[in-house]
């Protein structure tokens, strides 16, 4: 019996050795995988922080530009001044993420006729105030009778195909109306929901009341708002995003959930 046990020991020793090496090998593999996962998480965390900071810098820069544009427009006081156009052109050339700078003016129903006549004499002989059915057939419509209108009175640059946007009553587009009225109510810049430009890129509009400084203080005009149209695709192209297979990155408007395509500013 002893001889048999002694003879069988090497076999069990071999099995035990193999199992030990397998366990050690699996432990090493698991450790390497866990280390790799932690490294990828760390890389992604660093990227998220850096990318957020970079986007914030662009947003702060955009707000500064919008304030400067508002101040210039308030000082000049005319939608058809060459100073305003020249400033807008220079700013957009230096900041490609800015698609356009615009001005919206509040016009009462009783002033609409004289307002249109003034715009035709000084800006565009074909200027008219019009509404747009953005949420249905997306066509220009006849203007409905109402107490006030918020037509677009300035836009720079005027790209081919965008000339018709001048005169758009912002209240006729629901998501623009919400952002615009919130901006007037809160006396601060407000960002609209994202939408598609005629070129297909995603964009959003920032509305901001135009203020004027006088000796007796600051006057905020509800009848004038500066607007900045930001091209999201160009803005988010400024930085490279190190996406790993299986990962997704979302940046979205906080009125929407992350998986709602209507609110997505970036989805990779």
Most confident of 39-48, 125-134, 246-255, 259-268: 125-134
The tokens for 18 are 């193999």
Strand, helix or coil for residue 107: strand
Most confident of 71-80, 190-199, 236-245: 190-199
pLDDT category, 235, cuts 50, 70, 90? Answer: confident
Give this prediction's pTM. 0.74
| C-alpha pair distances (Å), 255 with each of 40, 56, 141, 187 | 30, 19, 28, 20
| C-alpha pair distances (Å), 248 with each of 47, 84, 259 | 13, 41, 11
Q: Give 168's strand partners.
A: 130
Q: Are 64 and 189 in contact (CB under 8 A)?
A: no
Strand, helix or coil for residue 81: coil
Residue 160 is predicted with a pLDDT of 77
Go through the domains of the chain in sequence order and give each one's CATH number: 49-267 (3.30.450.20)
pLDDT digits (tens, 9 = 90+) for 205-232: 999 988 765 445 444 455 789 999 999 8
Select the more confidently predicted residue: 245 or 257: 257
Q: Report the percentage of the chain scoring pLDDT > 70.
A: 83
């Amino acid at each position: 019996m002893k001889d048999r046990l002694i003879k069988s020991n090497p076999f069990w020793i071999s099995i035990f050795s193999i199992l030990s090496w397998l366990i050690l090998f699996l432990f090493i593999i698991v450790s390497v995988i866990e280390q790799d996962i932690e490294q990828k998480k760390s890389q992604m965390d660093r990227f998220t922080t850096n990318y957020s900071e970079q986007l914030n810098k662009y947003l702060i820069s955009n707000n500064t530009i919008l304030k400067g544009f508002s101040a210039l427009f308030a000082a000049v006081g005319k939608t058809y001044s060459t100073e305003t156009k020249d400033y807008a052109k220079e700013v957009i050339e230096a900041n490609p993420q800015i698609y356009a700078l615009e001005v919206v003016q509040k016009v009462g129903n009783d002033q609409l006729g004289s307002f249109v006549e003034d715009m035709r004499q000084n800006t565009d002989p074909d200027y008219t105030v019009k509404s747009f059915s953005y949420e249905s057939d997306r066509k220009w419509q006849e203007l409905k009778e109402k107490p006030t209108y918020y037509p677009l009175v300035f836009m720079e640059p005027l790209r081919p195909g965008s000339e018709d946007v001048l005169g758009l009553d912002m209240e006729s587009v629901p998501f623009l109306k919400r952002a615009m009225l919130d901006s007037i109510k809160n006396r601060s810049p407000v960002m609209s929901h994202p939408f598609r430009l005629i070129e297909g890129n995603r964009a959003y509009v920032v509305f901001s009341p135009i203020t004027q400084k006088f000796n007796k203080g600051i006057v905020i005009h509800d009848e004038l708002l500066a607007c900045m149209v930001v091209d999201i695709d160009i803005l988010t192209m400024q930085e490279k995003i190190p996406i790993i297979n299986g990962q997704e990155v979302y940046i979205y408007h906080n009125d929407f959930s992350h998986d709602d395509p209507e609110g997505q500013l970036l989805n990779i």
